Amino acid sequence: MNIDQSQDSCIFCKIARHEIPANVRFESDEIIAFDDINPSAPIHVLVIPKVHITSLRATEIDDQMLLGKLVYRAKLLAEELNIAESGYRVSINVGKWGGQIVSHLHLHILGGAPLTTKLAVATVDESVPLTH
């Protein structure tokens, strides 16, 4: 198998390959979902493709089906985790300003308690002009 260095060292690829432990909530050929190690809500699950895609930004037209499966899996997991009726959030952080730390595409499912209604916390560095 031709695994490049980034896939080899990627923490989420290692979880997908069962090389490091995680509390797995769902697994298929294409997708694995597991508890976030540092949860931001009582329920905090990450849904990832097993294939190493660095970010939503890196997806291409052929990834549309996979993206749909990831979102639909998040919906099914929310139901299984009993947070669907009360409500929950599914989010994808993209890039530096989007708060993405791990460079492997992942959806956050957050729920189990009322969530903040603020999606963006404005900690704008005045030295960096906002152009849009």
15 three-class SS: helix
* Contact yes or no for 26/32 (Cβ under 8 A): yes
The footprint of Zn ion on residues 5-64 (CB under 5 A) is 10, 12-13, 52
Among 11, 24, 84, 90, interactor with ligand AMP by CB under 6 A: 11
Active-site annotation holder among 18, 106, 108, 132:
106
What's the gap between Cα 93 and its chain centre? 7
106 is catalytic: yes
Number of H helices, E strands in the chain: 3, 5
Contacting range for ligand AMP; rule: CB under 6 A; set: 35-43, 51-59, 69-77, 120-128? 35-43
The region of 24-32, 78-86, 95-103, 122-130 touching ligand AMP under the rule CB under 6 A is 95-103
Tokens for 102, please give them.
């791990």
90 and 108 in contact (C-beta within 8 Å)?
Answer: yes
Q: Which residues bind ligand AMP (CB under 6 A)?
A: 11, 22, 36-38, 46, 93, 99-102
